[in-house]
A and B are shown apart, each in its own frame.
Chain A
Amino acid sequence: MAEYVVELKHVTKRFPGVIAMHDMHIQIKPGEIHGLIGENGAGKSTLIKVLTGVYIPEEGEIYVDGQKVSFANPVQAREAGIACVYQELNIVPMLPVVDNVFMGRNEHKPNGLLDYPRMHKEAHEALTTLGHPEVDTHIECGKLGMGLQQMVEIAKAVSLKAKLLIMDEPTSSLGEQEVKQLMTTVRKLKSQGIAILFVSHKLEELFELCDRVTVMRDGEHIDTRDIADWNNDSLIQAMVGRSLENQFPKEFGKKGECMLECRHLKELGVLKDVSFKAYGGEILAFAGLVGAGRTETMRALFGADPLDGGEVYVKGKKMNFKNPGQAIRAGIAFLTEDRKGQGLVLSLSVKTNIILANMRRFKKGFLLDNGEIERNSQQRIKELRIKTPTAEEVVSQLSGGNQQKVVIGKWINCDADIYIFDEPTRGIDVGAKVEVYNVMNDLVKQGKCVIMVSSELPEVLGMADRVVVMREGEVMAEIDRDSAHFNQEDIMKAAWGGKIA
Chain B
Amino acid sequence: MNDTKKKAGISDLLWKLGPLMVLALLFIIFTIALPGKFLSIANMMNILKQTSINCLIAAGMLLTLITAGIDLSVGYNAILSTCLIGVMMQNGITNPVLLIVAAIALCTFCGFMNGTLYTRLDLPHPYVSTLGMKFVLWGMALLITNSQTIGFNNKGIDPVLWIGKATLFSFGFPVSFILVIIVYFIFHVFLNHTALGRQIYCVGGNPEAARMSGIRSKDVLTIVYTISGFMCGVAGVVLAGRLNSANTASAANFDTDAIAACIIGGASFRGGKGTIWGSMIGALLIATIRDGLNLFGAGNDIQYIVIGSVIILAVTLDVFRGKAEAKARKMAAVTK
Contacts and interface: CB of A to CB of B under 8 A. Distances in A.
Interface of A: 16, 302, 304, 323-325, 327-329, 334, 336, 341-348, 352, 355-360, 362-363, 366-368, 370, 389, 397, 410
B194 A343 contact: no
A400 to B, nearest CB: 11
Contacts of A356: 202, 209-210, 213, 215
Contacts of B336: 16
Among B194, B212, B334, chain A packs the most CB atoms within 10 A around the CB of: B212
A329 B336 CA distance: 40
4 residue pairs, one from A and one from B, having the closest CB atoms: A359-B195, A325-B214, A345-B205, A357-B213
Interface of B: 5, 189, 193-195, 198-199, 201-202, 205-206, 208-216, 272-273, 329, 333-334, 336
Given A324-B211, A329-B214, A366 B194 contact: yes
Contacts of A342: 206, 208-209, 212
B212 A347 contact: no
Chain B interface SS verdict (over half): helix
Contacts of A334: 212
A355 B196 CA distance: 12
Contacts of B214: 323-325, 327-329, 357-358
B194 A367 contact: yes
Contacts of A410: 213
Given A356-B213, A358-B214, 8 more contacts: A324-B213, A341-B206, A347-B272, A348-B201, A356-B202, A357-B213, A357-B214, A367-B194
A297 to B, nearest CB: 15
29 contacts: A16-B334, A323-B214, A324-B213, A327-B214, A336-B212, A341-B208, A342-B206, A342-B209, A342-B212, A343-B209, A343-B212, A344-B209, A345-B209, A345-B210, A345-B272, A346-B205, A347-B272, A348-B201, A348-B205, A348-B272, A352-B201, A355-B198, A356-B210, A356-B213, A356-B215, A360-B195, A366-B194, A389-B5, A410-B213
A367 to B, nearest CB: 5
A367 B214 CA distance: 19
B194 A368 contact: yes
Contacts of A343: 209, 212
A329 B216 CA distance: 13
Contacts of B273: 347
A327 to B, nearest CB: 8
Given A324-B213, A328-B213, A356-B213, A347 B195 contact: no
Contact of B206 (A328, A346, A368, A389): A346
A455 B11 CA distance: 44
A207 to B, nearest CB: 40
Nearest to B334: A16
A323 B216 contact: yes
A359 B199 contact: yes
Contacts of B213: 324, 328, 356-357, 410
Contacts of A348: 201-202, 205, 272
Contacts of A363: 195
Query: Max chain B CB contacts within 10 Å: which of A324, A345, A356?
Result: A345
A327 B5 CA distance: 41
Contacts of A360: 195
A347 B270 CA distance: 11
Contact of A352 (B5, B189, B202): B202
Contacts of B334: 16
Contacts of B5: 389
Contacts of A355: 198
Question: Chain A at the B interface: mostly helix, strand, loop or mixed?
Answer: mixed
A316 B212 CA distance: 24
Given A352-B202, A360-B195, A397 B329 contact: yes
Nearest to B207: A345
Contacts of B201: 345, 348, 352
Nearest to A410: B213
Contacts of A325: 214-216
Contacts of A341: 206, 208-209
Contacts of A328: 213-214
B202 to A, nearest CB: 5
A73 to B, nearest CB: 19
Contacts of B216: 323, 325
A389 B5 CA distance: 10
Contacts of A302: 212
Contacts of B215: 325, 356
Nearest to B208: A342
A486 to B, nearest CB: 32
A367 B211 CA distance: 22
Given A359-B199, A368-B194, A368-B195, A344 B212 contact: no
A363 B210 CA distance: 18
A342 B211 CA distance: 8
A352 B198 contact: yes
Contacts of A329: 214
A347 B271 CA distance: 10
B193 A345 contact: no
Nearest to A389: B5
B198 A304 contact: no
Contacts of A347: 205-206, 272-273
B321 to A, nearest CB: 14
Given A304-B212, A324-B212, A344 B206 contact: yes
A16 B334 CA distance: 8
A97 B192 CA distance: 51
Contact of A304 (B210, B211, B272, B333): B211
A343 B211 CA distance: 10
B197 to A, nearest CB: 8
Contacts of B199: 359
B93 to A, nearest CB: 34
Contacts of A367: 189, 193-194
Contacts of B272: 345, 347-348
A357 B194 CA distance: 14
Nearest to A335: B212
Contact of B333 (A16, A327, A366, A368): A16
A362 B199 CA distance: 13
Contacts of A366: 194
Contacts of B210: 345, 356
A336 B206 CA distance: 14
A114 B215 CA distance: 50
Contacts of A16: 333-334, 336
A346 B212 CA distance: 14
B267 to A, nearest CB: 13
A345 B206 contact: yes
Nearest to B195: A359
Contact of B198 (A324, A336, A359): A359
A363 B206 CA distance: 22
A354 to B, nearest CB: 11
A363 B211 CA distance: 20
A367 B198 CA distance: 11
A397 to B, nearest CB: 7
A16 B336 CA distance: 9
A235 B210 CA distance: 43
A128 B189 CA distance: 67
A323 B217 CA distance: 11
Contacts of A352: 198, 201-202
Contacts of A397: 329
A324 B195 CA distance: 17
A357 B205 CA distance: 15
B192 to A, nearest CB: 8
A346 B336 CA distance: 21
